[in-house]
Structure 1
Amino acid sequence: MRRLVLSLLLGWALVGTPLLAAEKPNILILITDQQHWRMMSCAGEEYVHTPAMDSIAAAGTRFSLAYAANPVCSPSRVSMFTGYMPSRFGMKSNDQAKLPFPKSMLPQTMGHLLRRAGYETAFGGKTHWMRGMTPESLGFRDLGRNGRDGLADVCVQFLEEPHDKPFCLVASFINPHDICFMAIDAHAKATGKPAFEGARVEREELAKASALPAGVSREEFFEKYCPPLPSNFAIGDDEAECITTCFTQYRPFREYVRRNWTEEDWRMHRWAYRRLTERVDGQIGRVLGALRRSGQDRNTVIVFTSDHGDHDSAHHLEHKSIPYEEAARVPLIVAYPPETKPGAVDEEHLVNVGLDLIPTVCDYAGADVPAGLSGRSLRALAAGREEKAWREYVVSECKCGRMIRNDRFKYIVYESGTNREQLFDLRNDPGELHNLAVRAEYQDTLRQMRKALAEWMVQTNDPMREAYLVR
């Protein structure tokens, strides 16, 4: 593992193809599915080993305050490739993936912007966009839908090809998303109601990830190897009723495990989640190795992120969708050897990956950013340069609510139910266990956060804003 990190770092440190001042960099965007921000060893997670991801962080800047535009697959992915909040397109959850994407907006999506700037563009792996959104319609050459080893194969092949233009390659991997089937199958076994019966590969991968280390007894496994429960495993004070009515009851398997899983069940979920993360890290490592062998590594911007996280047992939850930190906050690393400071960690600037990805990519590519986008380029921050007047708040949407946070407080408002407002002091309560919205001494802060969210929703023309205004 150490040798892999060292070899990747040495590859970036050595001078590869001569870099002309006017030469545009290549761009490699690596996306995982359902990986929360702490799920890398470089982020301090001691029960997972991610040498490939760590090598990117060691060569660039890791943004520790990055959030998904919406903590579920389709809305987040639509946002990343358009630069708009999902609500712009009527998206609240994966259910709206069947809606048609406006054809008039296709020329302003990522692939077309880069092609007009002189780039060769390619996309492989998971899409999960809206109807009418395909790699080709978004301006990419299509490398296929395999999001596993097959995606690493086609990316390696792409990087081995000669290129007479700078390229943008997007590799959209599926894991650690296979963890979803642990709760799905537990519920099916208990109720006799099988679900997603065609997911053979997903279940095979999950079975491998759930296996105990060879020669280790179950007792020794839980004593020495399996991750403990998180410090915020408990359901918090004054939890919003909407979390039950809109999220867990909507998906019965989520409600089932929340009520019935034992502590060992939850710990096994955490174990398998980390093994699936290591699986995708290995696939990413193959792509990085091919980039290094191509000699293009020093002239390539690498962006690594995920579409959303996983609750990972926090609050007795798994899956995603609810804007607690584990689901809404995602990994984000930007590495470009000629500019970025190796091993830097930005713990100050709030980032919305859905809004900021396109401006960042366009900045490196010298491409025009469409008028009307509210995102910001991260290029200067990734290089260690200060950006004036950076945002004070970051916003994330979800199926039944809106979330806004600043450098200390986080406010969530749901569309209905008791305790529909949540306010957390992330500085003193990072696990989001104590809802301050019900406390008299925090009413001024609550009003300030309401006002900030209302102003944001007006500024971005959120079509659903009336449901989230508290007067």
Structure 2
Amino acid sequence: MRYDCLSIAGHPVVETPNLDELARTGVRFDRAYSATPTCVPARAAIFTGQSQKSHGRVGYQDCVPWNYEHTMPGEFAKAGYHTQCVGKMHVYPARNLMGFHNVVLHDGYLHHNRNKYSIPVREHYDEVDDYLHWLRQQVPGADLTDLGLDCNSSTVARPWHLPEKLHPTNWVVTESIDFLRRRDPDKPFFLWMSFVRPHSPLDPPQAYLDLYKDIEIPEPPVGDWALQSDPDLDGLSPYTSKGLVPKRRLQNAMAAYYALITHIDHQIGRFMQVLAEYGERNNTVILFTSDHGELMGDHHLFRKSLPYEGSARVPFIVNDPGNRLSLGTGKVVQEVVEMRDIMPTLLDAAGVAIPGSVDGGSVLKLAASSTEEGSGNAAWRSYLHGEHTQGMQSNHWLTDGKEKYIWFSQTGEEQFFLLTDDPQELHNAARDQAYQERMDYWRSVLIQELEGREEGYSDGKQLFVGRKPVTVLSHMRNG
């Protein structure tokens, strides 16, 4: 889910009443990012509280074992919490508990679990996926591919074909509600409700698609640096990551994407209602976020992994209905936060010790009612380093929430955006004479960030172009 798909954030189309209420009565972090914006490395940051340099996953690669000494659910379990995940984990092996007492799993369609010859020993998808097993009990012979949509069909959409209660989004909430019934009442609980959507396939129930089908949807922003032609007709591919997509197809995809978000929003409202019925709403701290965004046509780009706002910037809301943490009500925080901050934040909220392996920080001080909005916090990070291996588009980027510097490691191309004045990244100011000093500054920061990395990107004095990207760092591969 992209950062801007919230009514309360000013989106002109998307309806998110329940998330708006969490933000209105809680704290919204307006500059939240996923430093490695795809599912696998982003979830490593969530699970461990570590930067990508520490957890070792700097790009997307399946089938690398997850062996971490300290994990968020593991620390909660050691502290006496009953821990449960429902939905997407995206770890390996798929049934790795990662510290949870129990996982009710639905990772969605993962190619390495479906393609017979993708790895020597594969986990059979209908053995590891709890949702698919449950769905086939309701609809014999059903499969994740019945709609003809692939998990990376970023521009193709159609309505969900079965009753809404069978949709994976509803299933996550149904199973989460069942956890409230089955949990140990003598223990506090940690529950991770993890939705696959609005990641493609773009398959909202018809009622939600109807909310957007007749609305004029604004076209995506296209910067002066973006591709303006599509000689290879990449935009016609359903799996495209770039290209000029036919207007009607793109509008339908955007409508379905927004519909999936509203669907999730309503199901979160359903869970909040039941949480209150169980008497736990005012005793529960809630954190809502996403592991990455979706470009959805911005600059004629699609999917994720790139450093632009639509891909790397995400929603991030902390809500404390019982007001035990003295958070600012309706507060909007501008400091840059990241996936690595989730683990220390929730452990801090619960009074659980934060392991020394954690790189992130608790955002609760930023969110406190005693901290003035927009005042800044000198003790907080001054910038974020993000990156992702992606072939010729492998990239590193730095942002303080006001400016963003991007370096493409295989070509040496640089981009610079003044986010305060140009939030949609419409103008690449990298060659503007007025900003050469800022470019020099950010480049020097990246040189220091990458010094000593095994890829050889930097010797501490300069950046080296064309060094082979490594998706999983050696200390993780060997760990």
Superposition deviation, residue 255 in structure 1:
4.6
Q: What's 2:299 paired with?
A: 315
Q: What's 2:338 paired with?
A: 352
Q: What's 1:340 paired with?
A: 327
Q: Deviations over 1:2-44 (max 9, x none)?
A: xxxxxxxxxxxxxxxxxxxxxxxxxxxxxxxxx0011111211
Unmatched 5+ stretches in structure 2: 107-130, 132-167, 372-376, 465-479
Q: What's 1:396 paired with?
A: 386
- Normalising by structure 2, we get a TM-score of 0.74
The whole-number CA distance in structure 2 between the counterparts of 1:43 and 1:280 is: 17
User: Does residue 53 in structure 1 map to residue 19 in structure 2?
Assistant: yes
Q: Which has the higher helix share?
A: 1
The whole-number CA distance in structure 1 between the counterparts of 2:319 and 2:337 is: 16
Which structure 2 residues correspond to residues 32-431 of structure 1 after superposition, within 5 A? 35-94=1-60, 96-102=61-67, 105=68, 107-129=69-91, 131-132=92-93, 134=95, 136-145=97-106, 146=131, 147-161=168-182, 163-178=185-200, 181=201, 205-206=203-204, 208=206, 221=214, 225-230=215-220, 232=221, 234-237=222-225, 253=238, 255=240, 258-259=243-244, 261-337=245-321, 338=323, 339-346=326-333, 348-353=334-339, 355-386=340-371, 387-399=377-389, 400-417=394-411, 420-431=413-424
Q: Deviations over 1:172-203 (max 9, x none)?
A: 0111112xx4xxxxxxxxxxxxxxxxxxxx6x
Which letter does structure 1 place at the counterpart of 2:26? Answer: G
Q: What's 1:10 paired with?
A: none
In the superposition, relative to structure 1, how do residues 237 and 465 fare at CA in structure 2: closer, same or farther (>3 Å)? same
Superposition deviation, residue 212 in structure 1:
5.1
The whole-number CA distance in structure 1 between the counterparts of 2:226 and 2:431 is: 8
Q: Is the 8 A contact 2:417 2:429 kept in 1?
A: yes
Higher relative contact order (CA 8 A, sep 6+): 1
Which letter does structure 2 place at the counterpart of 1:427? Answer: T
The whole-number CA distance in structure 2 between the counterparts of 1:423 and 1:286 is: 42
SS at match of 1:430: coil
Which letter does structure 2 place at the counterpart of 1:172? Answer: S
The whole-number CA distance in structure 2 between the counterparts of 1:212 and 1:265 is: 16
Superposition deviation, residue 138 in structure 1:
2.7
In the superposition, relative to structure 1, how do residues 452 and 385 fare at CA in structure 2: closer, same or farther (>3 Å)? farther
Q: Deviations over 1:191-222 (max 9, x none)?
A: xxxxxxxxxxx6xx2584895569x8xxxx3x
Give RMSD over aligned pairs.
3.1
In the superposition, relative to structure 1, how do residues 155 and 207 fare at CA in structure 2: closer, same or farther (>3 Å)? closer
The whole-number CA distance in structure 2 between the counterparts of 1:256 and 1:210 is: 26
SS at match of 1:422: strand
Which letter does structure 2 place at the counterpart of 1:115? Answer: A
In the superposition, relative to structure 1, how do residues 362 and 210 fare at CA in structure 2: closer, same or farther (>3 Å)? closer
The whole-number CA distance in structure 2 between the counterparts of 1:405 and 1:344 is: 22
User: Does residue 449 in structure 1 map to residue 437 in structure 2?
Assistant: no
- Normalising by structure 1, we get a TM-score of 0.75
Which letter does structure 2 place at the counterpart of 1:150? Answer: W
The whole-number CA distance in structure 1 between the counterparts of 2:53 and 2:93 is: 17
Q: Is the 8 A contact 2:33 2:312 kept in 1?
A: yes
Superposition deviation, residue 463 in structure 1:
4.4
Superposition deviation, residue 258 in structure 1:
1.2
Superposition deviation, residue 269 in structure 1:
2.1
Q: Is the 8 A contact 2:226 2:299 kept in 1?
A: no
- The answer to which of 322-331 and 365-374 deviates more is 365-374
The whole-number CA distance in structure 2 between the counterparts of 1:85 and 1:47 is: 34
Q: Is the 8 A contact 1:116 1:367 kept in 2?
A: no
Q: Deviations over 1:143-173 (max 9, x none)?
A: 3324421111111112234521111000001
In the superposition, relative to structure 1, how do residues 454 and 272 fare at CA in structure 2: closer, same or farther (>3 Å)? same
The whole-number CA distance in structure 1 between the counterparts of 2:181 and 2:216 is: 39
Q: Is the 8 A contact 1:88 1:463 kept in 2?
A: no
Superposition deviation, residue 415 in structure 1:
1.4
Q: Deviations over 1:92-144 (max 9, x none)?
A: 333x1211223xx2x30111111122211111101112x24645233342133
Which letter does structure 1 place at the counterpart of 2:417? Answer: F
Q: Is the 8 A contact 2:328 2:370 kept in 1?
A: no
SS at match of 1:42: helix
Unmatched 5+ stretches in structure 1: 1-34, 182-201
Q: Deviations over 1:304-331 (max 9, x none)?
A: 0001111122101221111100110000
Which letter does structure 1 place at the counterpart of 2:70? Answer: Q
